[in-house]
Amino acid sequence: MPKAQGVAGAPCWVSLLARELTGAQDFYGKVLGWTYRRAGLGDDFSVALTDGLPVAGIGALASSLQVAVSWTPYFNVTDVDEAAARIRERGGTVGVGPLAFHTGRAALAVDPDGAVFGIWEGSVRSDWSVGRGSGSASLELRTRDAARAGRFYSLALGWQPEGEGKLRLTREGDRSVLLDGDEPLARISGGAVQAAPDPQIRPRWHVHFDVPDVTAAVESALASGGSLVLRSGPSAQVDEATLRDPDGALFTVTAAL
């Protein structure tokens, strides 16, 4: 397994906290064409692969950790305890952990508006990166106030202001974009989220997976027990659909038009 130190503050992985591993593997294998191998973290973990390259992790931990079934992005930190303290100081909550794994330590946190994310201290995969390769993942935080969210994550994870440092948060129209050099790593959009209990529209990190055919992915999801939450309109620049897996986890499939 290729390992690297990683860039502090950058996204380093996405993982599904599932209730049952075999069922989740079967669903995403049919919808996204994933294959799997053991993750080296025990029988409840696996790594999803596309074209032999890692895309995401699946861990059957939602019940044992008493958390909702969900897709969660993880951000690399140099010290998980210090990062957890900064999260709390800035109005966030650390709900689970830090927990020790054989390659590092992790914690699950919630930002001040309720979006869940993870932090990871330890070695990271050198063959995984945001938005690159077939079947890759991309990240978008949809929240109430993009500027306020940007300040929270900048202070909690060490993102630098525009024009300062290699990893920096910059403005792009009505959104904020986290850049590693010139490479976009994550986007923050604000203003479109209402104060409602529906998990479809409350603040959350959206995990997008690239697919060659959105319609085929939607049809496969429906046939496999999932549901369609939202489909982009005919005038959209990107064809995408937000889906819910049989256990309720939301994810988005995307294909460039």
4 band by pLDDT with thresholds 50, 70 and 90: very low
Judge whether 34 and 184 are in contact, CB under 8 Å: no
pLDDT value of residue 42: 63
Is the model's pLDDT at 192 over the cut of 80?
A: no
Q: What is the pLDDT of residue 112?
A: 94
Give the containing element (helix H, strand E) for 25. helix 21-32
| pLDDT digits 0-9 by tens, 247-256 | 999 999 998 6
Query: How is residue 188 written in tokens?
Result: 């923050």
What is the rounded distance in angstroms from the CA atom of residue 139 to the CA atom of residue 159?
16
The answer to whether 70 and 28 are in contact (CB under 8 A) is no
Instruction: Return the pLDDT at 64.
Output: 64
